[in-house]
Chains A and B, each alone.
Chain A
Amino acid sequence: MLNIKNLHVKLEEEDKQILKGVDLTVEAGKVHAIMGPNGSGKSTLSYVLSGRDGYEVTEGEATLEGADILEMEPEERAAAGLFLAFQYPVEIPGVGNMTFLRTAVNAQRKARGEEEVSAADFLKLIRERAKALKIDAEMLKRAVNVGFSGGEKKRNEILQMAMLEPKMCILDETDSGLDVDAMKLVAEGVNALRGTGRGFLVITHYQRLLDHIKPDVVHIMADGRIVKTGGPELALEVENNGYADILAEVA
């Protein structure tokens, strides 16, 4: 599904190398987790993959189902099936949540040469999916993320994911700022989307999200590289011993 080979990335504005040769393959239907200390390059990886400005790929490649996504505009990556759940979802005053989602869904369909979804069908679908995430009609009507609590913002990200039905989902620290109940709700939303060939890359600081979203593979990232890969037990090791041991081991 997602293939990253020897990816080197530096900041555009300053001569600072952030990713120093990331190799990673997420297979269809699998959930991979990336853990790592602050500043290891986890979020940069998510931004580079989704096409945010400010980063320069100096070496390597990233493909989604064989297509070079690094050459695509952000909207083209989305239409190709890539989705990033933001660590800090952006507030957009004046744009209704519902309008935003319908515009996005139809823009992607249009880009893929599919027919636009009718207003009635869309409404039916979004009500159903919002309900599962305990997102009420009021939240759908409000401006995108404006006045939402931290938990509401993250649930709104998952709702977008559910509506856009991407092939490859990247979750960037989706657990940050969530209490246990909110995290469970978000995890349930993600779990509902698992399977049927969809790939997940869950970026997180802590193991606790992985209690709820069980990964197939866990990677440890440090200083711009994947330094260790293992099964779910690797996350527990981090939880118990911190990163220091692992980093010392690979150093």
Chain B
Amino acid sequence: MGLPQQKMDATEARLATLSLPQGGWTAATRADALSRVRAMGLPSRRDEYWKYTRPETLVDAPAPQAAIFSPDEAPIFGEIDRLRIVFVDGVFDPDASDDLELEGIVIDRLAESTAHDIHWAKDLYGTLEARGQDPVERPLAALNTAFASDGALIHVKKTPSKAISLIYFHNDETSDAILHHVIKVDPGAEVTILENGPAAARFNKCMEIDLADTAKLHHVRAQGRDHERRAATHMFARLGAESVYKSFTLTVNGRLTRNEVVIELTGDDAVAHVAGACVGDGEFHHDDTVFVTHDAVNCESRQVFKKVLRNGATGVFQGKILVKEGAQKTDGYQISQSLLLDDDSQFLAKPELEIYADDVACSHGSTSGAIDEDALFYLRSRGVPESEATDLLTLAFLAEAVEEIEDEALSDEIVSRLSAWLVRHSRG
């Protein structure tokens, strides 16, 4: 089956601006990923999976410019004990980073490790991404595997003493960054991965996560505040028996963000929670696309996504729970909600359940609505001014998603960022 000419042309135009890194242990995988990109073609607005989000600016060559933004607040996670790995416009910054040494952990850089022919990440790099292409194609992730310029390869052998923090600065208005991380967590080990920053004018990021039996990974991400930045991110996670994966993403600002999460529960009794809170004002388009596959017994998955939208901002949620034959005792939960602060904003949701086992409990719900007028009046009647009451109710709306963060210090940081955003944006 050939691609439509227009799609093929757009794909080739994009590929012409990129050069495939040569040699080393990733060479074969990159070549394979490139041929997969050519076979699929890059996303276009006619694709069903991109029905609510226009992919052009994520595909076009070159990347649209994005002004640099200097926030009037210190970067997030500053008070958290962490090992910092810093990328500026997709380029590793050794001076700003800590030594990549931490007991129990091996950290390599993708760009450096490719000098070798053998690496522990060889079995994972591009593997989980390729698995995640079925049943829905994710060409931007394959593009990432083929062309990623750098990334962190993190092997967690034992629980480290602090969090691993990936920090992305944006200093170049035309930067077009592609990073690919691989995280492997051994049995019994537990790690916290933090991510923050706008990264680039356009950021294509892929993270492959392999959790062995009983491994645990906590992931908290704050996507940078640059108003004009664009990002397409993918997380592919494969969970072994009794492993736990908990991910939370905060998104404030950004012109266009597409966050895809692909989770495969392959071992019995595994737990996957993925949550997101986003607040958007004006030219803001945020898309959470989640695909959870239950392929083992007695696993639990939760998807909790909350969006606050105003001044014509758009929120998208495409979430699916697929329960395969034999995945009995599955407990699947999915909720996506938006709070529309005016009539110009919109929320588009496509929740899906596909179940082939007969002893499962799956539920999903999707709502969008305005501020609860009764609650607002109640608060005001107690003396809380309207703007403050609105903020309080907005934070309350987001709370279910934020509460998915287990670590109190991290959730406090997220709440304080959300409060600050509300103060900046709701007092119009």
Contacts and interface: CB of A to CB of B under 8 A. Distances in A.
Nearest to A104: B382
A100 B383 contact: no
B375 A90 contact: yes
Interface string B268-281: 00000000000000
A86 interface: yes
A236 interface: no
B381 A51 contact: yes
Contacts of B396: 92-95, 143
Contacts, number: 82
A103 B384 contact: yes
B387 to A, nearest CB: 10
Given A74-B380, A164-B382, A103 B392 contact: yes
B378 A75 contact: no
Contacts of B388: 103, 107
A75 B384 contact: yes
Given A92-B393, A95-B392, A103-B392, A78 B382 contact: yes
Contacts of B383: 75, 78-79, 104-105, 107-108, 111, 164
A14 interface: no
A88 to B, nearest CB: 9
A84 interface: yes
Contacts of B379: 92, 100, 104
A92 B397 CA distance: 10
Interface residues of A, number: 31
B386 A75 contact: yes
B374 interface: yes
A75 B374 contact: no
Interface in A57-81: 73-75, 77-79
A84 B381 contact: yes
A179 interface: no
Interface residues of B, number: 24
A52 B377 CA distance: 7
A50 interface: yes
A75 B389 CA distance: 10
A103 B386 CA distance: 12
A27 B62 CA distance: 75
B107 interface: no
**Residue of A78, A95, A143 ringed by the most chain B CB atoms within 10 A:** A95
B385 interface: yes
A105 B382 CA distance: 8
A29 interface: no
A79 B383 CA distance: 6
A138 interface: no
A89 interface: yes
Contact of A107 (B377, B384, B399): B384
Nearest to A143: B396
A44 interface: no
A136 to B, nearest CB: 21
Interface string B83-103: 000000000000000000000
A94 B380 contact: no
Interface in B153-182: none
A52 to B, nearest CB: 6
A160 interface: yes
A86 B382 CA distance: 11
**Residue of B373, B375, B380, B388 ringed by the most chain A CB atoms within 10 A:** B380
Contacts of A164: 382-383
Contacts of A104: 379, 382-384
A104 B389 CA distance: 10
A13 interface: no
A84 B373 CA distance: 17
A229 B373 CA distance: 35
A15 interface: no
Nearest to B380: A74
B382 A160 contact: yes
Contacts of A92: 372, 375, 378-379, 393, 396
B400 interface: yes
Nearest to B395: A94
Contacts of B395: 94-95
Nearest to B384: A107
Interface in B274-308: none
Contacts of A79: 383
Contacts of A90: 372, 374-375, 377-378
**Residue of B383, B389, B395, B396 ringed by the most chain A CB atoms within 10 A:** B383
Contacts of A111: 383, 385
Contacts of B375: 90-92
A53 interface: yes
A53 B373 contact: yes
A92 B396 CA distance: 8
A103 B387 CA distance: 13
Interface in A96-113: 99-100, 103-105, 107-108, 111
B65 to A, nearest CB: 39
B175 to A, nearest CB: 38
A89 B384 contact: no
B378 to A, nearest CB: 4
A13 B285 CA distance: 36
Contacts of A73: 380, 385-386
A173 B393 CA distance: 26
Contacts of B380: 51, 73-75, 78
Nearest to B399: A94
Given A95-B392, A104-B382, A107-B388, 19 more contacts: A52-B377, A53-B377, A73-B380, A74-B377, A75-B386, A78-B381, A86-B381, A90-B374, A90-B377, A90-B378, A92-B372, A94-B395, A94-B400, A99-B392, A100-B382, A104-B379, A107-B383, A107-B384, A108-B383
Interface of A: 50-53, 73-75, 77-79, 83-84, 86, 89-95, 99-100, 103-105, 107-108, 111, 143, 160, 164
13 contacts: A75-B385, A78-B383, A90-B372, A90-B375, A90-B377, A93-B399, A94-B393, A94-B396, A94-B398, A94-B400, A104-B384, A111-B383, A164-B383
Closest 6 CB pairs of A and B: A94-B396, A78-B383, A108-B383, A94-B399, A104-B382, A74-B380
